[in-house]
Amino acid sequence: MPIPAPEYTEACEDRDFAEWHRGCPWCAVWLIRVEHAEVAAQMAQARARLQPWLLPRYARQPHVTLAYRGLLAAAEGWHAAAEFGPAQLRADIAALQSVQMQPFTLQLQGVGSFSTVPYLAVVPNAQLQVAHDALLAHAPYPGWHYVPHVTLGHYARRLPMHEALEQLECSVPAAWHWQTPVTQLWLARYHTHDIAGPLRFEGYFDVRTQTYHAQPDACLGPAALNPA
């Protein structure tokens, strides 16, 4: 059963949420990258239509989140507030290997909105749910329902949700859809002090070979995967 849309949007603040990160500089998330010119064009079109109601900037590269993983240990060492480090990464890799995922097709079609962000919708896909469930063995809270999507930005003001949805539906043609093969699941990080800042990529899990490959500048590099 679809989750009903909230009655109103919620205004987000573009500030440093220090009470959340307590000085930990990074946060980790598993995702699928959808950095393609056609997706970027639809995002720009929708943002332009919603511009009066959105925070001015959103620098995150287009992506579909698979699982939020929490505050990330920095390259310099463990932070007291960190929740995700070498042990958690090794556990995630093992969890993904255990479900033996295969390459699949991701399709974007339609629009939607949470109370805080509007989005391009993702057509339901069993493999997305498998990956999400593998990475989050237990729901974050009672009633949690995974809704894969591509975030368009953050609302800057409160307004009736039906108004936001009307503008969204006008900005993205009903017939528009886009799809791509998925062979890599990416672990990314973002600066905790910047709610709209760009993603940095830690590495990817290759679903064809069932192996993880760290990026050269990863906080959790090869040494984290192969402890002495």
Longest CA–CA span in the chain (Å) reads 57
Separation of first and last alpha carbons in the chain: 48
Question: What is the reported pLDDT for 83?
Answer: 87
Instruction: List the alpha helices (DSSP H) in 63-137.
Output: 86-99, 126-135
At residue 196, φ and ψ (nearest 5 deg) are -125, 15
Least confident of 6-10, 24-28, 72-76, 198-202: 72-76
Q: Based on C-alpha coordinates, what's the Rg of the chain?
A: 18
Tell me which DSSP letter residue 74 carries.
B
Handedness of CA 157, 171, 122, 190 (dihedral sign): negative
Token duo for residue 77: 């060492």
Question: What is the reported pLDDT for 138?
Answer: 63
Is the model's pLDDT at 29 over the cut of 80?
yes
Cα-based distances in Å from 10 to 4, 7, 76, 163: 16, 10, 36, 13
Question: What does the pLDDT look like over 178-194, one tens digit per residue?
Answer: 999 999 999 999 999 99
Is the model's pLDDT at 80 over the cut of 80?
no
Whole-angstrom distance, CA of residue 68 vs CA of residue 48 = 28
- Is 59 strand, coil or helix? coil
Is the model's pLDDT at 11 over the cut of 90?
yes
Question: What is the reported pLDDT for 4?
Answer: 65
pLDDT bucket at 82, cuts 50 / 70 / 90: confident
The percent of residues above 90 in pLDDT, for the chain, comes to: 76
Alpha carbon 209 to its chain centroid, in Å, reads 23
User: How many residues does the structure list for the chain?
Assistant: 228
Question: pTM for the complete prediction?
Answer: 0.93
Instruction: List the alpha helices (DSSP H) in the chain.
Output: 18-21, 37-50, 86-99, 126-135, 161-171, 222-225
Is the model's pLDDT at 1 over the cut of 50?
no
Question: What does the pLDDT look like over 140-192, one tens digit per residue?
Answer: 667 778 999 999 999 999 999 999 999 999 999 989 999 999 999 999 999 99
